[in-house]
Amino acid sequence: MTLLAHDAERGARLVEDDPWLDLSDETPLPSHGDVVVPLARLADVVEAPGRLAARVDGASDPELLAPHLHRLALIVVEIPKFTDGRAYSLARLLRSRHGYRGELRAVGYVLRDQLFYLWRCGFDSFALAPGKDPADALAAFTEWSVTYQPAEDHDVPIWRRRRAG
Amino acid sequence: MYQYDAFDRRIVEERAHQFREQVVRRIDGRITELEFKPLRLQNGLYLQLHAYMLRIAIPYGLLSSKQLRVLADVTRKYDRGYAHWTTRQNLQLNWPKLEDVPKILDELAAVEMHAIQTSGNCIRNITSDPYAGVAADEVADPRPYCELMRQWSTFHPEFAALPRKFKLAVTGAAEDRAAIAVHDIGIRVVKSDAGEIGFAFYVGGGQGRTPLLAPCINAFVPEAHLVSYTEAILRTYNRLGRRDNKFKARIKILVKAVGAEEFARQVEEEHAHIAEGPLKLAREDIEGFRRFFRPPMYEVLRDDDPTLAAALLGKDRGLASWFAHNVAPHRQPGYAIVNLSCKSPDLPPGDVTADQMDAVADLADRFSFGALVVTHRQNLVFTDVKKRDLPALYAELTRLGFATPNVGKLTDIVCCPGLDYCSLANARSISVAKQVAERFEELSKLYAVGELHLNISGCINACGHHHVGHIGVLGIDKQGHEFYQLMLGGSSGTDASLGKVLGHALVHDEVAPAVERVVLAYLAHRAGPEETFLEAYRRLGPAPFKEAVYDPARA
Ligand code: SF4
């Protein structure tokens, strides 16, 4: 799996080692390490062995995540199809409505040409779909030097930016 | 009209560059065809029956003569010398080659044009009233709001993979010439009793296989919240709209399923969180857009121009008939709005040749401040013509074939490309239009048939807006054969309604005679020449028309 990260300060980069251990519904918690558990299991994990993450999909209700956000270091959002845009809205709600500041990762059918939008909506790490060229993907974040509307990356609509001169 | 600044230019250039790279990656296989599809669609590129089709955006239908000349040029260079005005105020090229598309986009970018979001499951090009800015019945010019919304929706990162396409229309006038009731969101500019500007939001209208008129979900959204309220609607739809079935994915299905009231409540709840955020508009924000749409430098003229008055009394009855049908009143004394009919007997509805485009551009420069508007009835409008110039303009338009005195009348047929071009079609539509037009050319000389909209679609997708034609024709497929349903009583105007199927389906060559019998029945039954077809149908119901079509011996 190719994992990328992007933020305003450091730009885009490949992430070599990913510490997260992805657990299914049944797999018992290990004695140590950082774990990802499905949203439904979150309430049962009273004490995580290391850092804790939740796995959701675009259709998940952010209200269900809200009570857990303070103890999450990562939220993994599964994108089943690249034409399913629910993850974008979910990410924005998690960031702006619920103030989530941890890592937000897009996994699944994640393609180069979605990366910039995903980032604008609040994602900061991306597991590229299998077989896709990482070098191509890294270039996706610099394609645009200006955007019209506010999102999670900035809050200045173009009309206000123009007025500022 | 709106002028790009450095930001707009950069965005369109970066887009052209991005698409060029995407095409390279598609051709060398880094992107699969399946993955490429939404990318090319959001750039207006469809795969049609015979070739790619490129749909070029004309925001709210407004074009400069300079832009029109470039469109002519592109049509000549990269296509077969003709193009097609669509029912959403855009222009379609029917035969561009994939490898040429990046070059076309570069040439368009040079005159502030593009094909962004003219198709695909995103917010589409926003449409408006063709008489915007000059209509006598206007609360406020809708174009500044359209442009603002164009910018907000362009490459909106959250709404690039909606359940389905999303169409907005905005009108600022009392009479609805923008068909807002059959859009995903229709916005009407309104004024409160206190004189404040706001918007009535109609959500969940549409055509296609489930035609619905949009209910009003909020009768007064304050001006400052135009964008934030729209964003709240889109977010609600993006999260809750159905994605399991393409035919149930439009917002109209969601609004219908939860009910307009409940949908409105959900939107209000979402909006409460963002209303005071960065999308809230300041007065200066709106002013910044408004200044692009100030009226041109009108001459001070008397309204009853003697040159025109004399010409109208002259021997040429053609001028008088054209003036009566194709010219509309203007709010500035001494000026008029002129409709150019693109429905002549020689070309399929909406088709336009490159040479015609060049000629129209010249006329726009000479007669109407170098600007023109494309209408959703596939015609063109010069919004600011001096009455004094009308006889000269009429002569030029006659020479070019744009003066058929039929705007809003039966032979001003709205028609999709149908089976001749479209891979989704069930039936031909252009040839039906042609047969109807031929039949009625004579008839309309004999009778004043009055306002009558005939709309034809080649399949249930309704690109020809058959549901809202006073007479609608829909191509259907029955065991591999093309058939046509006749519908009566639709309207996209202020009194919007959906047409009802009259009876069993007809074969191709029966359609034009059936339409003729409908019109003759109308002429026989109308209360007087003032009663329009639609009024007569609403008064009489379908019975006399049904009898005329299906049982002519009795009728
Ligand atoms: S209505 Fe059908 S046939 Fe006509 S253009 Fe649309 S999809 Fe094609």
Please, which pLDDT band fits residue B112 given cuts at 50, 70 and 90?
very high
For residue B435 the two structure tokens come to 């047969």
Which pLDDT score, from 0 to 100, does residue B445 have? 67
Q: Which of B376, B400, B424 is the last residue of a domain?
A: B400
Q: What average pLDDT score do residues B17-46 get? A: 89
CB A13 within 8 A of CB A20: no
Higher pLDDT residue, B318 or B365?
A: B365
The parent domain of residue B483 ranges over 414-550
Who among B152, B281, B288 is closest to A148 (CB)? Answer: B152
For residue B35 the two structure tokens come to 């993955």
For residue B528, count other CB atoms closer than 10 A to its CB. 6
Which pLDDT score, from 0 to 100, does residue B146 have? 97
The Å distance, Cα B457 to ligand 1 centre, comes to: 6
Percent of chain B with pLDDT over 90: 74
Which pLDDT score, from 0 to 100, does residue B536 have? 96
Beta bridge partners of B385: B336
Which pLDDT score, from 0 to 100, does residue B62 have? 96
Chain A residue with CA closest to B30: the answer is A132
Closest protein CA for atom 2 of ligand 1: B459
Counting from 1 in the atom list of ligand 1, the atom nearest the Cα of B422 is 8
Residues B14 and B88 in one domain: yes
Which pLDDT score, from 0 to 100, does residue B421 have? 81
Inter-chain touch B289–A156, beta carbons under 8 Å: no
pLDDT digits (tens, 9 = 90+) for A57-73: 999 999 999 999 999 99
Say how many domains are in chain B. Answer: 4
Considering only B62-71, B269-278, B475-484, which range has the smallest mean pLDDT?
A: B475-484
Distance of CA B163 to the CA centre of its chain: 23
User: How far apart are alpha carbons B515 and B436 in whole angstroms?
Assistant: 7
The Å distance, Cα B239 to ligand 1 centre, comes to: 28
Chain B residue with CA closest to A135: the answer is B30
The Å distance, Cα B269 to ligand 1 centre, comes to: 37
Examine the pLDDT at B51 and tell me if it is beyond 80.
no
The rounded mean pLDDT for chain A is 94
Residues B178 and B248 in one domain: yes
- What pTM does this model have? 0.92
Q: Which residues of B touch A117 (CB under 8 A)?
A: 155, 157-158, 160
Q: Which residues of A touch B277 (CB under 8 A)?
A: 96, 150, 155
Residues B31 and B89 in one domain: yes
Picking from B154, B238, B254, B289 by the largest number of A CB atoms within 10 A of its own CB, the best residue to mutate is: B238
Which pLDDT score, from 0 to 100, does residue B446 have? 64
Who among B14, B227, B282 is closest to A143 (CB)? Answer: B14
User: How far apart are alpha carbons B71 and B56 in whole angstroms?
Assistant: 9
CATH number at residue B311: 3.90.480.20
Q: Which residues of B touch A121 (CB under 8 A)?
A: 157-158
Domains of chain A: 2-164 (3.40.50)
Percent of chain A with pLDDT over 90: 90
Closest protein CA for atom 6 of ligand 1: B463
Please, which pLDDT band fits residue B286 given cuts at 50, 70 and 90?
very high
Beta bridge partners of B28: none
Buried (b) or exposed (e) across B488-511, using 16+ Cβ within 10 A? Answer: bbbbbbeebbbbeebeebbebeeb
Residues B165 and B92 in one domain: no
Buried (b) or exposed (e) across B418-429, using 16+ Cβ within 10 A? Answer: bbebbeebbbbb
Chain A residue with CA closest to B148: the answer is A159
The Å distance, Cα B482 to ligand 1 centre, comes to: 14
The Å distance, Cα B242 to ligand 1 centre, comes to: 23
Residue B512 DSSP class: H
Closest CA to B145 of B4, B286, B294: B286
Indicate whether B116 belongs to any domain.
no
Q: What average pLDDT score do residues B324-332 get? A: 92
Q: What average pLDDT score do residues B247-253 get? A: 94
Q: What average pLDDT score do residues B458-482 get? A: 93
Q: Which residues of A touch B243 (CB under 8 A)?
A: 84, 86
Residues B429 and B382 in one domain: no
Residues B105 and B190 in one domain: no
Examine the pLDDT at A20 and tell me if it is beyond 70.
yes
Which pLDDT score, from 0 to 100, does residue B555 have? 64
Please, which pLDDT band fits residue B345 given cuts at 50, 70 and 90?
confident
The rounded mean pLDDT for chain B is 93
Which pLDDT score, from 0 to 100, does residue A150 have? 98
End-to-end alpha carbon distance in chain A: 44
Indicate whether B70 belongs to any domain.
yes
Dihedral of the alpha carbons of A124, A128, A132, A134, in degrees to the nearest 10:
40
Chain B residue with CA closest to A109: the answer is B35
Picking from A90, A98, A158 by the largest number of B CB atoms within 10 A of its own CB, the best residue to mutate is: A158
Inter-chain touch B157–A88, beta carbons under 8 Å: yes
CA distance A77 to chain B (A): 14
CATH number at residue B250: 3.30.413.10
Q: Which residues of A touch B156 (CB under 8 A)?
A: 148-149
pLDDT digits (tens, 9 = 90+) for A101-149: 999 999 999 999 999 999 999 999 999 999 999 999 999 999 999 999 9
Residues B186 and B327 in one domain: no
Residues B105 and B145 in one domain: no
Indicate whether B119 belongs to any domain.
no
Q: Is residue B540 within a helix (H) or strand (E), and if so which, with residue range?
A: helix B533-540
Q: Which residues of A touch B273 (CB under 8 A)?
A: 97
CB-based contacts of B127: which residues, under 8 Å, 6+ apart?
B60, B61, B88, B89, B167, B168, B169, B170, B178, B179, B183, B376
What lines the ligand 1 site, CB under 6 Å?
B 416-418, 422, 424-425, 457-459, 461-464
Distance of CA B465 to the CA centre of its chain: 10
CB B43 within 8 A of CB B52: no
CB B43 within 8 A of CB B19: yes
Q: Which residue in the block uniquely carries the two structure tokens 């909406």? A: B350
Chain B residue with CA closest to A92: the answer is B158
pLDDT digits (tens, 9 = 90+) for B131-157: 999 998 899 999 999 999 999 999 999
Indicate whether B125 belongs to any domain.
no
Inter-chain touch B121–A161, beta carbons under 8 Å: no
Counting from 1 in the atom list of ligand 1, the atom nearest the Cα of B423 is 8
Mutate to test the pocket of ligand 1, among B46, B422, B430, B455 (most ligand atoms within 8 A of CB): B422
Chain A residue with CA closest to B161: the answer is A85
The three state secondary structure string of B313-341 is HCCCHHHHHHHHHHEEECCCCCEEEEEEC
The Å distance, Cα B167 to ligand 1 centre, comes to: 17
Indicate whether B128 belongs to any domain.
no
Q: Which of B93, B109, B125 is the last residue of a domain?
A: B109
Picking from B5, B14, B34, B35 by the largest number of A CB atoms within 10 A of its own CB, the best residue to mutate is: B35
Mutate to test the pocket of ligand 1, among B50, B165, B457, B483 (most ligand atoms within 8 A of CB): B457
Find the length of chain B. Answer: 555
Angle at A21 between CA A17 and CA A27, to 5 degrees: 165
The Å distance, Cα A47 to ligand 1 centre, comes to: 58
CB-based contacts of A56: which residues, under 8 Å, 6+ apart?
A38, A39, A65, A75, A76, A77, A78, A90
For residue B288, count other CB atoms closer than 10 A to its CB. 18
Which pLDDT score, from 0 to 100, does residue B494 have? 87
Residues B463 and B536 in one domain: yes
CB B423 within 8 A of CB B439: no
Indicate whether B299 belongs to any domain.
no
Residues B142 and B268 in one domain: yes
Chain B residue with CA closest to A79: the answer is B161
Indicate whether B555 belongs to any domain.
no
Q: Which residue in the block uniquely carries the two structure tokens 């939860």? A: B258
pLDDT digits (tens, 9 = 90+) for B496-524: 999 999 999 999 999 999 999 999 999 99
Percent of chain B with pLDDT over 70: 99
Residues of A with CB under 8 A from a CB of B: 82-86, 88-90, 92, 96-97, 111, 113-114, 116-118, 120-121, 132-133, 136, 143-151, 155-163
Q: Which residues of B touch A140 (CB under 8 A)?
A: none
Residue A158 φ/ψ, nearest 5 degrees: -55, -35
Closest CA to B280 of B272, B290, B269: B272
Residues B138 and B284 in one domain: yes
User: How far apart are alpha carbons B536 and B529 in whole angstroms?
Assistant: 11
Higher pLDDT residue, A60 or B89?
A: A60
Residues B315 and B231 in one domain: no
Which pLDDT score, from 0 to 100, does residue B480 have? 87
Q: Which of B292, B319, B345 is the last residue of a domain?
A: B292
